C-alpha cells in the first residue's frame, strides 16, 4: 500500500460530478487521492476532523486574468486561494502575457495585466519556463490571446484587418504556442485593438486549433444590442476551424437588452447540438474592464477601479467626479486615462437565468491588479455557493460545485481534476456549507470570503483560513487533454 500523507475524516463529499453528497473519509498520498471510504489509521498521516464540513474538488476559475499574478509569490493569489480556487484559466479576452515583448505600457486592454515591466515572454515556452522555475500558487491552464498576437505582429497599427502575411505569422505563433503547451486561442473582439478584425481573420489564425485539439474562447464582439449576431459569429468560428468553443462571461448588457438571455441561451442550446459550444458566467450584474469612452452613457453608472494619473479616483463614481470637476462624463473619463472601471450594465434576472443554465460554468473574470477591483475577484465562488445556491435556492449545492469543478474540467480538458475519485489529483477544498459566503462588496472589494477552511493543491496545503497562503507555490502549469 502507498504511504498516506493526509486523511480527511467524516466530511460530506460533493465530488464534482453533480451527484448527491455522501459522507466518507478521503486519504491522500503524494499529489493524488489514494482512497475514499473507511480509511484505516496511518501512522505518519496528518488527520483532519472534517465532520459537519463539505469536501469538494478545488474550484476551477474558468475565466481569469491571473497571467501575471501566478508569476508572483503566492500571497498575490490570496484573492483566489481564499475562495478555494485550485486552478485558474489565464490568457482570456484576447489578452495573454506571451508571446509579446514590450518595453512600454501596451495598449488597453493588454495593460490590465501590467505596465512595461511585465512583457518579457516572447514565446509561450518562456512563460511556461518561468512557471516551472517558480511554481505558481495554483494550477494554471493558459491561452494565447488574439490582441497579444496582433500587438506582436502589427505593432500599433491595430485599427484595421490583418493582411495575409500578418495572419500567417500570427497563425505560426499560435501553432508554436500550442506545441509548447497552450490550451488554445482567446479573443476580445469588443476591444478597440481587435474590433477591426473580421471573422475570417479569427478563423485563419485559429486553424491550428483543430490539429492540437485546442479551444477557442471568446469575449464576443458585442454583448449588448448585437449579442445574437455575436453568438452566431462565435459558433461559426468554432465550426469553421473545427474546434470546441467557449463564450466568455456570457451576459446581456444594457437596459434595452434586459431579458434577452431567454433568447441567447436558446440559441446556444440549438448551436450546441451540432458543435461543442459552452459558456462561463460571473455572479454579478456589473462588468469591469478598462475605462473605455465608447462604453459611457448617461444611464449607465460607472465606478472607477484605478487611474494612473488620478489614483485617488479609485472607488469613486464617474458622474460624481465629472460634477466635481464641472466637466462632461467623457471629459472626466479622458482625464482619468489610463484607467479601469466597473459598469453596472446588467439585469439580475439575466444573471440568474444564465448562471442556472445546466451548461454554465463559473468564472470570476477578476482583475487582480486593480486598485479597487470589482468584488468578483474575491467573492465569486463563495457567492455562488452561499448566496445563489444556499440562500436563494437557485440550484442545489452539488450543482453549484459541479459548475466550478467537474463541468469546467471536462470542457477545458483537465484530466484527473475537478472530481473527487481515487487516482485523481488531490486538489481539494474544505468548507462550511452553513457559513460560506462572499464578503467583498463594491464599497469594500478586497474582503476575504467566509467559510473556506482549507485548500489543498496537488496534495499540499495551499491556503488555510487561520494561516493564509502557504509560502511556497503548490500549483503547476497544466496541459489540455480533450475528452475523447
Minimum CB distance to Zn ion smaller for 33 or for 215? 215
Determine, following the binding rule CB under 5 A, whether residue 64 of this chain makes contact with Cu ion: no
Please identify which residue in 29, 93, 407, 436 interacts with Cu ion, judged by CB under 5 A. 93
Q: Does 92 bind Cu ion (CB under 5 A)?
A: yes
Contact range with Cu ion by CB under 5 A, out of 257-265, 343-351, 360-368, 472-480: 360-368
Which of the ranges 42-50, 216-224, 294-302, 428-436 carries the binding residues for Zn ion, by CB under 5 A? 216-224
Phi-psi region of 114 (alpha: psi -120 to 50; beta: other; left: phi over 0): left
If binding is defined by CB under 5 A, does position 364 make contact with Cu ion?
no
Q: Which does 25 bind (CB under 5 to 8 A by kind): Cu ion, Zn ion, none?
A: none
Cβ at position 411, least distance to Zn ion in Å: 17
Residue 259 CB, nearest approach to Zn ion (Å): 22
Interface with Cu ion (CB under 5 A), residue from 280, 365, 427, 438: 365
Between 15 and 61, name the residue whose CB sits nearer to Cu ion.
Answer: 61
Q: Which residue has the CB atom at the shortest distance from Cu ion?
A: 93
Residues 13-52 that bind Cu ion (CB under 5 A): none
Q: Which residue in 215, 248, 202 sits closest to 62, CA to CA?
A: 248
Please choose which of Cu ion, Zn ion, none residue 245 contacts, taking the beta carbon within 5 to 8 angstroms, the exact cut-off set by kind: none
Q: Which stretch binds Zn ion (CB under 5 A): 40-48, 89-97, 238-246, 327-335?
A: 89-97
CB of 188 to Zn ion, least distance (A): 6
Q: Quick one: which segment of 87-95, 290-298, 385-393, 401-409 binds Zn ion (CB under 5 A)?
A: 87-95
Taking CB under 5 A as the rule, which mask of x and - marks residues 397-426 in contact with Zn ion? Answer: ------------------------------
Q: Does 93 bind Zn ion (CB under 5 A)?
A: yes
Is the torsion defined by CA of 292, 293, 297, 298 positive or negative? positive
219 in contact with Zn ion (CB under 5 A): yes
List the grid coordinates of 311: 489614483
The CB-side HSE value for 292 (13 A sphere, CA atoms) comes to 15
* Binding of residue 342 to Zn ion (CB under 5 A): no
**Residue 128 or 253: which CB sits closer to Zn ion?**
253
User: How far is residue 383 from each of residues 146, 252, 363, 394, 428, measured CA to CA in Å?
Assistant: 31, 20, 12, 12, 18
**Of 56 and 93, which has the nearer Cβ to Zn ion?**
93
Q: Closest distance between Cu ion and the C-beta of residue 65, in Å?
A: 6
Task: Between 376 and 410, name the residue whose CB sits nearer to Zn ion.
Answer: 376
Judge whether 340 and 289 are in contact, CB under 8 Å. yes
Size of the site for Zn ion (CB under 5 A): 2
Residues that bind Zn ion (CB under 5 A): 93, 219
**Binding positions for Cu ion, rule: CB under 5 A:** 92-93, 365
Amino acid at each position: 500500500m502507498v504511504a498516506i500523507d493526509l486523511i480527511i475524516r467524516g466530511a460530506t463529499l460533493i465530488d464534482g460530478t453533480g451527484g448527491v453528497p455522501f459522507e466518507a473519509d478521503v486519504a491522500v498520498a503524494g499529489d493524488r487521492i489514494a482512497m475514499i471510504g473507511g480509511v484505516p489509521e496511518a501512522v505518519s498521516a496528518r488527520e483532519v476532523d472534517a465532520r459537519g464540513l463539505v469536501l469538494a474538488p478545488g474550484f476551477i476559475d474558468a475565466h481569469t486574468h491571473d497571467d501575471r499574478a501566478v508569476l508572483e509569490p503566492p500571497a498575490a493569489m490570496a484573492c483566489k486561494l481564499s475562495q478555494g480556487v485550485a486552478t485558474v484559466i489565464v490568457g482570456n479576452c484576447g489578452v495573454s502575457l506571451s508571446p509579446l515583448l514590450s518595453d512600454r505600457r501596451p495598449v488597453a486592454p493588454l495593460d490590465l495585466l501590467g505596465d512595461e515591466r511585465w512583457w518579457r515572454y516572447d514565446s509561450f515556452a518562456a512563460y511556461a519556463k518561468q512557471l516551472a522555475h517558480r511554481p505558481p500558487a495554483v494550477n494554471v491552464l493558459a491561452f494565447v490571446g488574439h490582441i497579444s498576437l496582433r500587438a506582436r505582429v502589427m505593432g500599433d497599427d491595430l485599427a484595421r484587418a490583418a493582411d495575409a502575411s500578418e495572419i500567417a505569422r500570427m497563425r505560426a505563433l499560435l501553432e508554436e504556442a500550442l506545441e509548447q503547451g497552450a490550451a488554445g486561442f482567446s479573443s476580445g473582439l469588443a476591444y478597440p485593438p481587435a474590433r477591426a478584425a473580421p471573422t475570417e481573420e479569427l478563423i485563419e489564425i485559429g486553424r491550428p486549433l483543430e490539429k492540437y485539439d485546442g479551444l477557442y474562447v471568446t469575449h464576443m464582439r458585442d454583448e449588448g444590442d448585437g449579442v445574437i449576431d455575436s453568438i452566431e459569429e462565435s459558433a461559426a468560428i468554432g465550426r469553421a476551424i473545427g474546434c470546441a468553443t467557449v463564450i466568455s462571461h456570457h451576459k446581456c448588457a444594457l437596459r434595452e437588452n434586459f431579458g434577452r438571455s431567454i433568447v441567447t441561451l436558446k440559441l446556444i442550446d440549438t448551436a450546441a447540438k451540432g458543435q461543442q459550444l459552452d459558456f462561463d458566467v460571473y455572479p454579478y450584474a456589473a462588468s469591469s474592464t478598462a475605462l473605455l469612452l465608447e462604453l459611457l452613457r448617461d444611464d449607465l453608472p460607472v465606478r472607477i477601479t484605478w487611474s494612473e494619473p488620478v489614483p485617488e479616483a479609485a472607488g469613486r463614481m464617474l458622474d460624481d467626479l465629472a460634477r466635481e470637476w464641472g466637466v462632461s462624463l467623457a471629459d472626466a473619463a479622458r482625464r482619468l486615462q489610463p484607467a479601469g472601471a466597473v459598469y453596472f450594465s446588467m439585469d439580475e434576472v439575466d444573471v440568474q437565468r444564465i448562471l442556472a443554465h445546466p451548461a454554465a460554468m463559473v468564472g470570476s473574470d477578476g482583475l487582480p491588479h486593480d486598485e479597487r477591483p470589482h468584488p468578483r475577484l474575491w467573492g465569486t465562488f463563495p457567492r455562488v455557493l452561499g448566496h445563489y445556491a444556499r440562500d436563494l435556492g437557485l440550484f442545489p449545492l452539488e450543482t453549484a460545485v459541479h459548475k466550478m469543478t467537474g463541468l469546467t474540467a471536462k470542457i477545458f480538458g483537465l484530466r484527473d481534476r475537478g472530481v473527487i475519485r481515487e487516482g485523481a489529483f488531490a486538489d481539494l477544498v474544505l468548507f462550511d456549507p452553513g457559513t460560506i459566503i462572499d464578503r467583498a462588496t463594491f464599497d469594500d472589494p478586497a474582503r476575504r470570503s467566509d467559510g473556506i477552511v482549507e485548500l489543498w493543491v496537488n496534495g499540499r496545503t495551499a491556503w488555510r483560513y487561520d494561516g493564509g497562503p502557504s509560502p511556497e507555490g503548490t500549483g503547476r502549469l497544466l496541459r489540455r487533454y480533450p475528452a475523447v
